[in-house]
Amino acid sequence: MENLKEKISQADSLEKLEKIRIELFGKKGVLAAEFAKLKDIPASEKKAFAEGLNESKTILQSAFDSRYQILKAKEIESILQGEAIDVSLYGTLSDKGALHPVMETMDKIIDYFVALNFAVENGPMIEDDFHNFEALNLPKYHPARDMQDTFYFQDGKLLRTHTSPVQIRTMMSAKPPIRIIAPGTVFRRDYDLTHTPMFHQVEGLVVEEKGKVSFANLKSILIDFLRYMFGDVEVRFRPSFFPFTEPSAEVDISCIFCEGKGCRVCSGTGWLEVLGCGIVDPNVFKAVGYEGVSGYAFGLGVERFAMLIHKIPDLRSLFEGDIRLLEQFR
Amino acid sequence: MKVTRSWLSEFIDLSDVTNDELYAIFNAIGLEVENIQTIEIPPKVIIGKILSCQKHPDADKLNVCQIDVGTGVKQIVCGAANVTSAEYVAVAMIGAVLPGNLEIKYAKLRGIESEGMVCSSKELGLPSLGDGIMILDESIGELEIGKEFGSYEKIADTLIELELTANRGDCLSVYGVARDLSVALDRPLKPFHYKQEEKMKLGIAREAEIHTEGAIQANLKYKLATVEAKRNSFIVQLRLALTEIEPQSTIESLLAYTTHATGVILRAYDSMSFRNNADKIVVSVSAAHKGIVEIYGNGVSLSTVGVNQNKSCKANDETKQILLEASYINPDILVEAVFSASLIKDELYYQTSRGSNPDLSFGLLYLAFLMDQYCQIDCYEGSLDVEAERERTILRVNTDEICQIIGQKIETNKMISVLRHLGFEINVLGDHLITAEVPFFRHDIVNIQDVAEEIVRIIGINNIQPKPLTFIEKNRLNSASDRYKIKKIFRNRAISAGFYENVSYVFSEKAILEQYGFATTDEKLELSNPIVEELNTLRSTILVNLLHAVKRNVSYTKKSIPLFEIGAVFGSKREQKEVFSFVFSGNEAGENVSNNGKPKMIDFASFVQKIGAVIGAFELVPCTYKNGLLHPYQSADILVNKKRCGYLSKLHPSVQESYGVADTFFAELEFDALLPEHKNAKPISKFQGVYKDLSVVIDKHISYYEVSKVINSLALPLLRESYPVDVYEDEKLGDKKSLTIRFFIQSMEKTLHESDIEAVISQIMQALKKEYKAELR
């Protein structure tokens, strides 16, 4: 008995243990042989013999089980060790690309306004004078047209200089209340370090019945929006002029580079100009045939937002498909 | 618009206002400060009086001056030619440190001792005032010998550059800016009093007369003056230089300075241009078209009010008798007229088109003040005047409506006070009803919202409390919103498949598009003012832009260049559509341990797989598109939902070579065709299906597409799926190839018998045999 136990505990592999198992517990094994003796044992001793035999079987079984556990664990451990690799070698395997920072910024802007129940609207890039200028209170001789150097076509059409014509198109095809943003590509005939002939804007327009929409409402949404985009910044409104809004304002945030102390990016002023806004000019409503309404509008340049948010120094690099820039946004 | 603090102070008391406060106020009232800069004069630069000035014995160009500097007389050698006519000058004393770290020390110049330096404007960090030293006069204040030059507030001034919006012509003068400041600071303007001394005692009418023809829409005021001597005071020179105005003559300086100060448009004529045979000055004013007012002398058009002046009639420094003209024309009338008449415009047009000062007397009086002090210019008594009939703009203003626009309660009295201060004439009609007569210099104010803007400006936009807008619940998920969401999903899939998002100009170079056989915009519809040659037309494909981006990235030593762009392209009639374009150049994956740093080049199969990861299921069929980028034997049309939506291809080797890039694949798809379609579920069979392979030997040139067409045409109800799994070619097969197709066969009704399966396979085999002489392998 002790001898058998010893044998089990000395098995050093699962194969040897298996052999022992057959030797002990198999049909022709030691235990089976012992149990076979039972029939020759006198009835009076049978019980005691059987009990002793069962006890031995239990002891042997448990010795076997525990040895099995140990050897199995050893085997798994050796399999595991055999499969060991230097996992740190594989940290560079991702081949994911990246969204363009301007488009990603545009997404974030759109998401904000969609969450506030704005509809998204689109319009054509090739526009006519009426939608791009006239209807926006910019008659042909208006000095403010100087602000927008325009690409023209031979037939008098033009590439839209802002996303504002989408306001006009939307108002001419729908009735108030209007609550839209118009993200899109716009064009100005300007090409230097800080200007590209194409860039992106997001325009917003809200129109409700007269007396409903106020400058205070405009301030409220823009302050919240700018903090959503730029974090905990100060927001400042400065009176300004746009032909299509009145009163108009330009909106600044406290400089996110120097926290308003004054640096190179904010030209020492501590403020960064980020968008323009205002109460829709009555002449715009007149041009689209609206009466008895009030509204606000705002517009922003997406490239400027993206450059500020991601601290991208060079505007033109955004249009060159430069993977050295793009891969930083993986 | 550039102003200086001391110049503003001529019109408003700013003694208790710091520069920081000025900066904040200007921004708050909508006059954006572009730049604010204080002028600092180093210490130990003092006022000196030249007592004598003698030629240096040993140097032609040097003068030896004895200068009273208050504490004594110093001998200073000076190289400037104009020192001989100077009396008061700025002297840098020993120990003064001038800009550029130039320290003034004792010096001996060709044997003569010199104890200081007589300064030019540039040496003190001021703008250039021409050659030589500064010759000072009392225009900067009382000249006290020995007094620090930097203690004069007109010298150690603050230069403020304002970025004015197009509507604020009223602020295109120092006076106009001061006027707006006076409202913001709630203090009155300093009155400008000057009693012109009319030394001539001769009435202008004895020499000159004015005739008008037509309805004149301008205000004109003429004065006649004889010129004995004239010069510019120091402050006029300095301020013109600071504000970067560069007049050509003394008389022009006086006019430009006055216009900049007062906003009144001034011109000076040689009176000879108007003298007729009877030696009488006759000014003829004619209004030929609406808004165009022309001035004639002797039948010759000499100027157009607010627009230009004929050079030949301009008074210059030799002119003995000048006719001074102050004018005003409403810019709203002027710009429209000038636009349709396309006239040549001079430098004053910027101001007249935005609104000059209609107070002509003020301008002429300010000019007289300058002339009387520093020149001998004598004016005739009186003036010749033309007054246009002007409609007053009177607005009925409901103050509640203003409160609604602003979104905040503002007391009517407060509004009235702001508006009165801004120059409006107010009549109170009721509790919340007033009329406001707009001052002439604010032509930009035409409606109640303009009035609201004025209120907002002055009470301070930052004092308006933000208030969220309440609105009625409404679903605003329209098709554009949906499209945007779908696009975002596609873009995110593309980056998961390894592509970088590209954004490029929707322009292209016409010659390149033509070279590769892409559509180009019709000549009649072409861009008329492209910005550069490379962007001279609208793009009809994004692929050229992507190829240029690939080329750039190659030059940045990038080895794997996967890019995509969703953007607009235009047809020859300028039809705009959106396409989804991809390019993949070079290594198929990054270099890493799993590919031993040698990833394989992108090939057809892996490119197709990547595109599939983005756009989902599609079919490839032989390419029907034609352009110079396509590889004739590795290009295909892409069918999505059985619709042709674009193509993919290997880049043609010759283009690849000319761009100097590695193996490159590209695809361009119409975005509309990728929009997800509505789908209904099909029933799924409950019965077991089986996979069965069939290998057939067919001619090499027969594509799988052709084989599949034959199989599909059979429309076998049990055939659920079929796809190619292997192609095998070897010498033994010769012109043939072995194609293995896997079929999935399943019935909706029952478990299949071997015979059912055999029937399907044999039908396929027979059809292929018949069509393509296929043999079982």
Q: Are residues B326 and B452 in the same domain?
A: no
Q: Are residues B28 and B123 in the same domain?
A: no
pLDDT of residue B85: 85
Is A238 within 8 Å of B335 when comparing Cβ atoms?
A: no
Ranked by mean pLDDT, the top range of B110-114, B261-265, B319-323 is B261-265
pLDDT of residue B332: 86
B110: left (phi over 0), alpha (psi -120 to 50) or beta: left
* Contact (Cβ atoms closer than 8 angstroms) between residue B509 and residue B534: yes
From the number of C-beta atoms within 10 Å of its C-beta (0-12, 13-18, 19+), residue B393 rates as: middle
**Other C-beta atoms within 10 Å of B299: how many?**
8
Is B469 within 8 Å of A327 when comparing Cβ atoms?
A: no
Summarize the confidence of residues B333-346 as an average pLDDT.
Answer: 86
How far apart are the CA of B386 and the nearest CA of chain A, in angstroms?
26
User: Residue B471 domain-assigned?
Assistant: no
User: Residue B565 domain-assigned?
Assistant: yes
- Best to test chain B binding among A157, A241, A280, A286 (most B CBs inside 10 Å): A241
Summarize the confidence of residues B338-359 as an average pLDDT.
Answer: 89
Residues in chain B with CB shorter than 8 Å from the CB of A157 are 525, 574
The ranges assigned to domains in chain A are: 2-85, 101-329
DSSP 3-state assignment of B403?
helix
Which residue, among A240, A237, A193, A202, has the nearest Cα to A216 in the 3D structure?
A237
Number of A/B CB contacts below 8 angstroms equals: 261
Contact status of A310 with chain B (Cβ, < 8 Å): no
Q: Could you give the dihedral angle defined by the CA atoms of residues B524, B525, B531 and B532, in that order, rounded to the nearest 10 degrees?
A: -70
User: Residue B660 domain-assigned?
Assistant: yes
User: Which residues in chain B (178-207) have CB-CB distances under 8 A to chain A?
Assistant: none
pLDDT of residue A146: 60
Q: Are residues B659 and B562 in the same domain?
A: yes
Of B453, B526, B556, the CB nearest to A247: B453
Which residue, among B163, B155, B124, has the nearest Cα to B137 in the 3D structure?
B155
Could you give the C-alpha distances from B397 to B400, B408, B428, in angstroms and in order? 9, 16, 10
- Cis amide leading into A197 (omega within 30): no
From the number of C-beta atoms within 10 Å of its C-beta (0-12, 13-18, 19+), residue B53 rates as: middle
Answer yes or no: is pLDDT of B86 > 60. Answer: yes
User: Residue B192 domain-assigned?
Assistant: no
Q: What are phi and psi of B643, to 5 degrees?
A: -105, 140
pLDDT of residue A161: 94
CA distance B776 to B771: 14
pLDDT of residue B198: 61
* Contact (Cβ atoms closer than 8 angstroms) between residue B721 and residue B713: no
Which residue, among B566, B630, B579, has the nearest Cα to B604 in the 3D structure?
B630
- Per DSSP bridges, beta strands B208-213 and B281-289 are parallel
- Per DSSP bridges, beta strands A271-280 and B112-114 are unpaired
Q: Are residues B517 and B666 in the same domain?
A: yes
CA distance A139 to A129: 9
* Contact (Cβ atoms closer than 8 angstroms) between residue A256 and residue A233: yes
Residues in chain B with CB shorter than 8 Å from the CB of A177 are 471-472, 474
Could you give the C-alpha distances from A90 to A93, A324, B90, B597, in angstroms and in order? 6, 22, 75, 12
User: Which residues in chain A (15-34) have CB-CB distances under 8 A to chain B?
Assistant: none
Contact status of B726 with chain A (Cβ, < 8 Å): no
pLDDT of residue B374: 80
Contact status of A174 with chain B (Cβ, < 8 Å): no
Residues in chain B with CB shorter than 8 Å from the CB of A144 are 166
Q: What are phi and psi of B586, to 5 degrees?
A: 90, -145
CA distance B464 to B263: 33
Is B532 within 8 Å of A221 when comparing Cβ atoms?
A: no
* Contact (Cβ atoms closer than 8 angstroms) between residue A255 and residue A276: no
Return the CATH number at B423: 3.30.56.10
CA distance B318 to B513: 62
pLDDT of residue B120: 93
Domain containing B698 equals 690-776
Per-residue pLDDT band at B204 (split at 50, 70, 90): confident
Could you give the C-alpha distances from B662 to A157, B553, B629, B658, in angstroms and in order? 41, 11, 14, 11
Q: Tell me the fold of A101-329.
A: BirA Bifunctional Protein; domain 2 (3.30.930)
| Residue carrying structure tokens 């084989």 | B707
Q: Are residues B260 and B130 in the same domain?
A: no
- Best to test chain A binding among B19, B22, B165, B349 (most A CBs inside 10 Å): B165
pLDDT of residue B19: 94
* Contact (Cβ atoms closer than 8 angstroms) between residue B687 and residue B752: yes
Q: Are residues B117 and B261 in the same domain?
A: no
Of B401, B481, B570, the CB nearest to A120: B481
User: Which residues in chain B (209-228) have CB-CB distances under 8 A to chain A?
Assistant: none
Which residue, among B292, B399, B278, has the nearest Cα to B352 in the 3D structure?
B292
Summarize the confidence of residues B758-772 as an average pLDDT.
Answer: 94
| Residue carrying structure tokens 């990728």 | B674
Q: Are residues B222 and B365 in the same domain?
A: yes
pLDDT of residue A10: 86
Of B449, B476, B526, the CB nearest to A117: B476
Q: Are residues B503 and B563 in the same domain?
A: yes
User: Residue B197 domain-assigned?
Assistant: no
- Best to test chain A binding among B354, B501, B569 (most A CBs inside 10 Å): B501
DSSP string, B416-465: HHHHHHTT-EEEE-SSSEEEEEPPTT-TT--SHHHHHHHHHHHH-GGGSP
pLDDT of residue B211: 92
- Provide the mean pLDDT of chain B: 92
Residues in chain A with CB shorter than 8 Å from the CB of B445 are none
Q: Are residues B347 and B492 in the same domain?
A: no
Which residue spans within B39-195 are E strands per DSSP? Answer: 45-56, 59-68, 73-78, 88-92, 97-98, 102-103, 107-109, 112-114, 117-118, 158-163
Q: Nearest residue of B to residue A246 by CA position?
A: B449
pLDDT of residue B147: 94
pLDDT of residue B131: 85
User: Residue B709 domain-assigned?
Assistant: yes
pLDDT of residue B246: 85
Tell me how long chain A is: 330
Residues in chain B with CB shorter than 8 Å from the CB of A102 are 503
Domain stops at, among B334, B355, B386: B386
Residues in chain A with CB shorter than 8 Å from the CB of B500 are 97-98, 100, 321, 323, 326-327
DSSP string, B740-775: EEEEEE--SSSPPPHHHHHHHHHHHHHHHHHHH--E
User: Which residues in chain A (33-92) have CB-CB distances under 8 A to chain B?
Assistant: 89-90, 92
* CB hemisphere CA count around B730 (13 angstroms): 2
How far apart are the CA of B758 and the nearest CA of chain A, in angstroms?
45
Q: What are phi and psi of B480, to 5 degrees?
A: -65, -35
Domain stops at, among B386, B414, B435: B386
Tokens standing for B397?
A: 């203003």
User: Residue B767 domain-assigned?
Assistant: yes
Can you give the pLDDT of all 330 residues of chain A as single tens digits? 678 888 888 888 889 888 888 888 888 888 888 888 888 888 888 888 888 888 888 888 888 899 999 999 999 999 999 999 988 888 888 889 999 999 999 999 999 999 999 999 999 999 999 999 999 998 887 766 765 689 999 999 999 999 999 999 999 999 999 999 999 999 999 898 889 999 999 999 999 999 999 999 999 999 999 999 999 999 999 999 998 999 999 999 999 999 888 888 888 888 999 999 999 999 999 999 999 999 999 999 999 999 999 999 899 899 999 999 999 998
How far apart are the CA of A237 and the nearest CA of chain B, in angstroms?
6
Amino acid letter for position B87: E
How far apart are the CA of A77 and the nearest CA of chain B, in angstroms?
25
Answer yes or no: is pLDDT of B523 > 90. Answer: yes
Residues in chain A with CB shorter than 8 Å from the CB of B405 are 214-215, 247, 279, 294
Is B478 within 8 Å of A326 when comparing Cβ atoms?
A: no
Which residue, among B585, B627, B630, has the nearest Cα to B603 in the 3D structure?
B585
Return the CATH number at B694: 3.30.70.380
DSSP 3-state assignment of A231?
coil
Tens of pLDDT, residue by residue over B672-688, are 999 998 889 999 999 99
Contact status of B556 with chain A (Cβ, < 8 Å): yes
Q: Are residues B647 and B498 in the same domain?
A: yes
* Contact (Cβ atoms closer than 8 angstroms) between residue B187 and residue B49: no
CA distance B194 to A107: 63
How far apart are the CA of B459 and the nearest CA of chain A, in angstroms?
11
What would the 3-class secondary structure string for B279-311 be?
A: CCEEEEEEEEECCEEEEEECCEEEEECCCEECH
Domain stops at, among B431, B463, B495: B463
| ipTM reported for the complex, 2 dp | 0.88
B484: left (phi over 0), alpha (psi -120 to 50) or beta: alpha
- Best to test chain A binding among B336, B339, B349, B405 (most A CBs inside 10 Å): B405
Which residue, among A237, A260, A225, A232, has the nearest Cα to A118 in the 3D structure?
A225
Could you give the C-alpha distances from B379 to B47, B64, B625, in angstroms and in order? 34, 42, 83
Is B405 within 8 Å of A215 when comparing Cβ atoms?
A: yes
User: Residue B73 domain-assigned?
Assistant: yes
A132: left (phi over 0), alpha (psi -120 to 50) or beta: alpha
Number of domains in chain B: 6
Answer yes or no: is pLDDT of B564 > 80. Answer: yes
